[in-house]
Amino acid sequence: MRLDPDRGLWAGERLSAAGEAIAEVRRSHGEAIAAGSLARPWSNDEIGAAFDANYHENAMALLAAWQGAAEFVSLLADDVRLAVDAAVAADAEAAYRHDQI
């Protein structure tokens, strides 16, 4: 296996930036969705109440999943960096052991 540590770390940085971008869009647009849900722009009649029950539940599930995706991508970025560091350390240890033979 050939590992280019610089490219691996670059990929981790890009994943981190992607996680931050997802979180930022979630904050800006997601807060508008949550506020719109609380404002209840639909009617208060039976149909409006039925819509509200389904909308609010699904909107909250969407917002939670969106936040979870941002967190997952950020954690993945950390894992990539850790994997690169571990691979570089393992290569250095193997080279040292080889030189001791």
Q: What is the pLDDT of residue 80?
A: 95
Closest CA to 22 of 61, 79, 58, 68: 68
Cα 73 from chain centre: 3
The answer for residues whose C-beta is within 8 angstroms of residue 40's C-beta and 6 or more apart is: 48, 52
Q: What is the pLDDT of residues 6-48, one digit of tens each?
A: 999 999 999 999 999 999 999 999 998 888 878 778 888 999 8
CA dist 82 to 6, 10, 61, 65, Å? Answer: 13, 13, 31, 25
Domains of the chain: 5-100 (1.10.287)
| CA pair distance 62, 32, nearest whole angstrom | 13
What digits encode the pLDDT tens for the residues 70-84? 999 999 999 999 999
- How far apart (Å, rounded) are the C-alpha atoms in residues 82 and 28? 30
How far CA 71 is from CA of 26, 64, 94, in Å, comes to 11, 11, 34
